[in-house]
Amino acid sequence: MFRKIPLLLCGLLITVTVLAQKKNESYQLQIRKAVSPVKIDGVIDEAAWIQADVANSFYMVLPMDTSMARLRTDVRMTYDDKNLYLVVENYTTGKGPYMVESLRRDFAFLKNDNFLLFMDPFDDQTNGFSFGANAAGAQWDGLMYDGGKVDLSWDNKWVSVVKNYPDKWIFEAAIPFKTIRYKKGITKWGINFSRNDLKTTEKSAWAPVPRQFPTASLAYTGNLVWDAAPPEAGANVSLIPYLLGGIAKDYEKGNSEKYRRDAGLDAKIAVTSSLNLDLTVNPDFSQVDVDKQVTNLDRFELFYPEKRQFFLENGDQMSNFGYATIRPFFSRRIGLGGVPIRFGARLSGKLNKDWRLGIMNMQTGKQEETGLPAQNFTVAALQRRVFSRSNVGFIFINKESINYDPGKITDMPAYNKYNRNIGLEYNLASSNNFWTGKAMFLKSYTPGKSGHDVAHAANLQYTSKVWNVSWQHEYVGRNYNAEVGYVPRQGYVKIIPQVTRLFFPLSGQVLSHGPQVTSTWFFDEKDLHRTDNETMLNYGIVFRKRNTLNIWVSNTYIQLLQPFDPTNSHKDSLANGSRHNWNTVGVDYVSKPQSLFTYALSARYGGYYADGTRLMTNTELGYRFQPHVSVALSANYNQIDLPKPWGNTSFWLVGPRLDVTMTNTLFFTGFMQYNGQQKNMNLNTRFQWRYKPASDLFIVYTDNYLPEPFYVKNRALVLKLVYWFNI
């Protein structure tokens, strides 16, 4: 019965969908070929701009979505044989500087005065591209997926300029057709423009978007109507070689300095205007940001997000298959922990308006220190659009060990010759975005494991202006095995109902407020007895200045399924099967983003395992000397009181960070982390010079210390040069 619900809902919502699309169908911007050359300088004096149509009369999205925007925004677009051009006049009101974080690209949307373009060149209301800038000129670009999410890891060649005037700031950009993908011959693209202004706390959009959804929602775009089909991008091949030199020393092992001299190559080949082939040989990711450490008091493996661009770019079809804790594919399993990646290839993109394809193959080398063999990873994903914005997806994952000989591996957990997964999922997304959901089935194949080797899950969510109601259930068999995925727990059944109700005062400092109830239940798959349960009541308040306050209480019950050290300090472990129950109260506050000084405060106090207590406080402080310097400090403190042998345990996690953006092409980042739980201090600094579009010079220095007594563990210095050129 449950599996029929999404299909029935889709059918019921088709009428609503058509009406929603007809409403925004009237928002059309005509784009004509430029009658003169366009110079990207922030000055609107070319004949091409004077004759271009203007998109204005924006609608307010926040704080309310029932009126026109107070601030005027004028948008013009044109094109020539090579580029798509955009110029935007962002009018302002009142005195005072623009509010921006820095000149660093891919800024946080809510912390900057900015303008963003969202476009759907496939007209499928699901995938697309986003470009934009903040008022200081920092660029924003990303791939759009799932109908309204933006992957900011995507980085490509385009140019822009921001120029400030007393009453407005102008954003002008040229986006090469070779940079984006689009359906050949299509003359109508979905498009929307979004404006965020912190002084007035107004967020607006050209085509109206209900306030409960992001302005990136492709369900609510208007139309960009071309006077002729966009020109074909032609031969589109990019080569991105790198050269690297470095030195590293491991003081713990007493090794001498180790010098690095390396080179590698990435290539991007446009197979069609909407399908791309990416190749990589000997890739290196030394310039990627280090992981932000967290206090680990969890019984299961923690999740750290992927940050390597090769795996992130256009990778949502593979990496987002499944749920947050049931991911059959997690790219961080490939090439980390000292395992070198030799080469790889990925074919991804749109086959046509309805079909989307993603195929990736990666080959790693042998890990010399442990003897782990070379391995090959293959992932294939195929997606078919159904109804207006929903889709059905298939995935296949294969991990194969090369020259498999487990007898040569010592002091390591057993590894398998192969591990395979196949999966199907249905993603529901109504055209007006009120109904969303997913149904999924996975099966694994591992030598020596059969039976109870499947996982399935489903969820359904309804989102209106005042209600958010969702239901999710999961099942993971005890023998389900995803060695290239992220599935931290097996052998359970899980259900999660959630209800949120919002109220909107007509005046006053509060914009919205309301309660939320969430209850999470885990049951053992064998006899369905309860093993975990957490019920939380939260009351949230959003103020008109965009500061937020949440107050919550919760009740937690846990029956341990294996021995567990509640402090992760290796003192002792609680017994398997022991039962624990406690209550907790908490509060979270985030300050308004308009201030130069921003902060976020969190605190929780309550019971803990073995009739103990836990106090946790978390502080995030930030100050910006805009637009060039941003200073941040995060501090997390835990105090745990338990009976002997643990007693009183307390530890800090502190992370100061310095971001200096000298220009929008010259950046410096310094980041330190002190982790009292792991007794480690980490320092990471990175200098980046973007000397040409998408071409960079990186200088990266890392250091790890033992804080007590102060002792250097290891340190490394790397210089990396990347150059992007088109053939």
CA atoms within 13 A on the CB side of 140: 27
Q: Check which CATH number belongs to the domain holding 44 and give it.
A: 2.60.40.1190
Q: What is the mean pLDDT of residues 625-648?
A: 93
d(CA 203, CA 69) in angstroms, rounded, equals: 8
Contact 398, 377 (CB under 8 A): yes
Q: Which pLDDT does position 350 carry in this prediction? A: 86
Whether the pLDDT of residue 1 is over 80: the answer is: no
Q: What is the mean pLDDT of residues 90-109?
A: 85
**Residue 493 domain-assigned?**
no
Least confident of 82-91, 405-414, 521-530, 546-555: 405-414
**Residue 105 domain-assigned?**
yes
Q: Which pLDDT does position 23 carry in this prediction? A: 55
Compare 598 and 109 and report the one with higher pLDDT. Answer: 598
Residue length of the chain? 727
Q: Structurally, how many domains does the chain consist of?
A: 1
d(CA 665, CA 674) in angstroms, rounded, equals: 30
Q: Which pLDDT does position 20 carry in this prediction? A: 39
Q: Which pLDDT does position 104 carry in this prediction? A: 84
Mapping DSSP onto H, E and C, the string for 12-48 reads HHHHHHHHHHHHHHCCEEEEEECCCCCCCCCCCCCHH
Q: What is the mean pLDDT of residues 127-144?
A: 92
Whether the pLDDT of residue 414 is over 80: the answer is: no
Q: How many CB atoms lie within 10 A of CB 360?
A: 23
- Rounded to the nearest integer, the mean pLDDT of the chain is 89
Contact 573, 563 (CB under 8 A): yes
d(CA 688, CA 55) in angstroms, rounded, equals: 37
Tokens of 137: 């000129």
**Residue 591 domain-assigned?**
no
388, 391, 392, 397: CA torsion to nearest 10:
160
Cis status, amide bond into 656, omega within 30 of 0:
no
What DSSP string runs through 681-716?
Answer: EEEEEEEEEEEETTEEEEEEEEEEEETTTTEEEEEE
Least confident of 106-115, 435-444, 694-703: 106-115
d(CA 633, CA 500) in angstroms, rounded, equals: 32
d(CA 502, CA 540) in angstroms, rounded, equals: 9
Q: Which pLDDT does position 7 carry in this prediction? A: 38
Q: What are phi and psi of 701, to 5 degrees?
A: -125, 130
User: Where does the pLDDT of residue 105 fall: very low under 50, low under 70, confident under 90, or very high at 90 and above?
Assistant: confident
Q: What is the mean pLDDT of residues 458-486?
A: 96
Q: How many CB atoms lie within 10 A of CB 94?
A: 6
Whether the pLDDT of residue 530 is over 50: the answer is: yes
- Per residue in 201-230, pLDDT (tens digit) is 999 999 999 999 999 999 999 999 999 999
Q: What is the mean pLDDT of residues 665-686?
A: 91
Q: Which pLDDT does position 373 carry in this prediction? A: 82
**Residue 116 domain-assigned?**
yes
**Residue 95 domain-assigned?**
yes
- Per residue in 424-434, pLDDT (tens digit) is 999 999 888 89
Whether the pLDDT of residue 262 is over 80: the answer is: yes
Q: Which pLDDT does position 518 carry in this prediction? A: 98
Instruction: Bin 653: left if φ > 0, else alpha if -120 < ψ < 50, else beta.
Output: beta
Q: Which pLDDT does position 374 carry in this prediction? A: 87
Which residues are within 8 A (CB) of 538 and not within 5 positions of it... i.e. 6 or more apart? 515, 516, 517, 518, 550, 551, 552
Q: Which residues pair with 717 in a beta bridge?
A: 247, 701
Whether the pLDDT of residue 369 is over 70: the answer is: no
Q: Which pLDDT does position 531 carry in this prediction? A: 96
Q: Domain range holding 38?
A: 4-226
Q: What are phi and psi of 563, to 5 degrees?
A: -55, 145
Which residues are within 8 A (CB) of 24 and not within 5 positions of it... i.e. 6 or more apart? 207, 208, 220, 221, 222
Q: What is the mean pLDDT of residues 276-280?
A: 93
Q: What is the mean pLDDT of residues 395-401?
A: 95
Q: How many CB atoms lie within 10 A of CB 64?
A: 14
d(CA 572, CA 687) in angstroms, rounded, equals: 44
Question: Residue 109, SS3?
Answer: helix
d(CA 605, CA 638) in angstroms, rounded, equals: 10
User: Where does the pLDDT of residue 16 fall: very low under 50, low under 70, confident under 90, or very high at 90 and above?
Assistant: very low
Q: What is the mean pLDDT of residues 20-30?
A: 73
Tokens of 67: 């009126």
**Residue 308 domain-assigned?**
no
Which of 404, 353, 411 shows the shortest CA–CA distance to 383?
353
d(CA 711, CA 699) in angstroms, rounded, equals: 24
Q: Which pLDDT does position 407 carry in this prediction? A: 60
**Residue 720 domain-assigned?**
no
Burial class (CB in 10 A: 0-12, 13-18, 19+), 255: exposed
pTM confidence score: 0.87
d(CA 705, CA 713) in angstroms, rounded, equals: 5
3-state SS of the chain: helix, strand, coil percent to 5?
Answer: 5, 55, 40
User: Where does the pLDDT of residue 9 fall: very low under 50, low under 70, confident under 90, or very high at 90 and above?
Assistant: very low
d(CA 111, CA 64) in angstroms, rounded, equals: 19
Q: What is the mean pLDDT of residues 190-197?
A: 95
Contact 349, 410 (CB under 8 A): no
